[in-house]
């Protein structure tokens, strides 16, 4: 199939009314997302028009070189939705479907420039203080509790009963939330990510209230957690600073950590290359790395908004256009050969962590959490098998995240219970 339109001519507003534009959700929740990316590339080239929702077009970046250009260049591609033309003219409002997740807000992933650098320092310095041995013990503790319950039942949904539970509980410990607060936080985050209009806005407000209460509690009674570490920062952050730093990190981190673990467990259950029972020899770290390159938890990154007219991948980008980094599509497009060190020559899965000012600040702890969680499941779930054919598994996708909806399993040869449970790590 040839490229449909001529280069550097049609603008996004010209293409928005075309019949048959692909909804972005098909790249995360369809039965074969990789085929969707390839069909888009075949039709449009490395920068393709898609629909965030009916009547809301955006550019999807499918080329590796183009993707790195967008991620690196904060001066041309802003993360602040106040620069989005469709938001500025009222086409998209904060109460609309996609508006609930993309509307401007004060958070580390949603602002640029000096404000972003300030919030980023708070988060970077807090994560720098993380004791990885203590974090590992915390993860092992919550994995043990979750797996005890799973094994006692003899069957489980590894998404709901394990992969979604452990990161939630670990991050609640890291930030100082109790488990019930953490469960509420994750529920709110799912509704925001699903972009369901008023329900998303309501959940966003509930998130803010919960984190505001957490900040107030730690102001009054500091503890040994990341929230308190942020409040103790030498820059003397305000309550709004701390709330902005905590909220996006906690909410986005838990959502994508769950997806990463879930996709890794899916590979171990469905792909012989990763299944030791079938002769596979790839380790848990190998599996997690393979997920980032083939089925990343964030197939698309949050949109950037063009600050000026420009050209990207032979497409005319107008000031105010939304530009979505297609992480999975760009990884499939190229293996980054060349001399430009910014192109991450070799393994493109690293683009999952982003590049430039908005690259993920929690790569080390996120990797540690995922690795221990997957390894614990593999170590204790002897004789585990899916209760449905692999092809029956379906994705639960939002515009930017993707993971199996469920992983129903039974245990043919349950392992005996662990002889001793570790003491719960202190916060």
pLDDT tens column, 343-370? 443 455 567 888 888 888 888 999 999 9
Residue closest to 66 by CA, chosen among 342, 298, 321, 293 = 342
Count: domains in the chain: 1
How far are the Cα atoms of 95, 146, 263 from residue 143, in angstroms, in the given order? 38, 5, 17
Q: Is residue 7 part of a domain?
A: no
| 115 belongs to a structural domain | yes
Backbone angles phi, psi at 4, to 5 degrees: -75, -40
Q: 338 with 345: CB under 8 angstroms?
A: yes
**Does 117 map to a domain?**
yes
Does 5 fall in a domain? no
| Each residue's pLDDT tens digit, 134-178 | 999 999 999 999 999 888 888 899 998 999 889 888 988 899 988
Q: How far apart are the first and last CA of the chain?
A: 57
pLDDT at 197: 58
| Cα gap 299→351, rounded to integer Å | 10
What pLDDT sits at residue 321? 97
pLDDT at residue 339, as a whole number: 42
Is residue 417 in a domain? no
Residue 179 confidence (pLDDT):
75
**Domain presence at residue 3:** no
Any domain includes 416: no
Q: Which tokens sit at 263? A: 């996709």
377 touches 162 (CB < 8 A):
yes
pLDDT value of position 1: 43
Stretches where the chain sits below pLDDT 50 are 1-6, 335-346, 413-415, 419
The answer to whether the CB of 294 falls within 8 A of the CB of 286 is: no
- In the prediction, which pLDDT does 198 show? 62
CA distance 417 to 149: 10
- Contact status, residue 380 vs residue 151, Cβ threshold 8 Å: yes
**What is the Cα–Cα distance from 306 to 319, expressed in whole angstroms?**
5
Structure tokens at 158: 């590894």
CATH of the domain at 156: 1.10.630.10
Alpha helices (H) in 154-273, listed in sequence order: 165-175, 179-193, 198-220, 226-231, 239-270
Contact 192, 186 (CB under 8 A): no
Q: How far apart are CA 117 and CA 91, in angstroms?
A: 30
- Domain extent for 337: 12-411
CA distances from 211 to 205, 214, 243, 251 (A): 10, 5, 6, 10
pLDDT score of 57: 95
Please report whether residue 55 resides in a domain: yes
Beta strands, E only, 54-179: 56-61, 77-78, 155-157
């Amino acid at each position: 199939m040839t490229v449909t339109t001529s280069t550097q001519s049609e603008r996004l507003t010209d293409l928005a009314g075309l019949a048959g534009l692909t909804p972005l959700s098909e790249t995360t929740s369809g039965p074969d997302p990789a085929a969707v990316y390839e069909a888009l590339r075949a039709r449009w080239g490395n920068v393709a028009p898609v629909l965030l929702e009916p009547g809301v077009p955006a550019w999807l970046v499918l080329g590796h070189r183009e993707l790195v250009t967008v991620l690196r260049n904060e001066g041309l591609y802003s993360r602040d939705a106040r620069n989005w033309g469709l938001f500025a003219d009222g086409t998209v409002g904060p109460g609309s479907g996609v508006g609930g997740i993309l509307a401007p807000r004060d958070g580390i992933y949603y602002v640029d420039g000096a404000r972003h650098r300030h919030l980023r320092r708070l988060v970077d310095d807090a994560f720098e203080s993380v004791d990885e041995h203590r974090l590992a013990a915390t993860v092992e503790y919550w994995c043990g509790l979750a797996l005890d319950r799973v094994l006692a039942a003899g069957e489980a949904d590894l998404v709901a009963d394990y992969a979604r539970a452990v990161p939630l509980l670990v991050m609640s410990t890291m930030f100082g939330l109790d488990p019930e607060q953490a469960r509420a936080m994750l529920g709110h985050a799912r509704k925001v990510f699903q972009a369901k209009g008023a329900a998303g806005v309501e959940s966003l407000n509930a998130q803010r209230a919960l984190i505001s209460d957490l900040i107030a509690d730690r102001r009054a009674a500091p503890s040994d957690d990341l929230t308190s570490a942020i409040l103790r920062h030498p820059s003397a952050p305000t309550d709004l600073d701390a709330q902005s730093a905590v909220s996006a990190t906690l909410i986005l981190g838990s959502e994508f950590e769950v997806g990463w673990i879930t996709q890794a467990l899916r590979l171990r259950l469905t792909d012989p290359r990763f299944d030791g029972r079938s002769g596979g020899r790839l380790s848990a770290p190998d599996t997690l790395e393979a997920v980032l390159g083939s089925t990343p938890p964030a197939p698309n990154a949050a949109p950037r908004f063009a600050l000026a007219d420009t050209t990207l991948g032979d497409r005319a980008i107008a000031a105010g256009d939304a530009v979505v980094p297609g992480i999975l599509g760009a990884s499939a497009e190229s293996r980054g050969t060349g001399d430009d060190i910014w192109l991450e020559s070799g393994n493109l899965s690293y683009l999952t962590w982003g590049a430039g000012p908005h690259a993920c600040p929690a790569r080390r702890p996120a990797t540690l959490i995922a690795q221990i969680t997957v390894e614990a499941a593999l170590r204790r779930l002897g004789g585990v098998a899916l209760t449905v054919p692999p092809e029956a598994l379906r994705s639960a996708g939002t515009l930017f995240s993707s993971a199996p909806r469920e992983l129903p399993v039974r245990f043919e040869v349950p392992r005996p219970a662990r002889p001793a449970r570790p003491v719960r790590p202190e916060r």
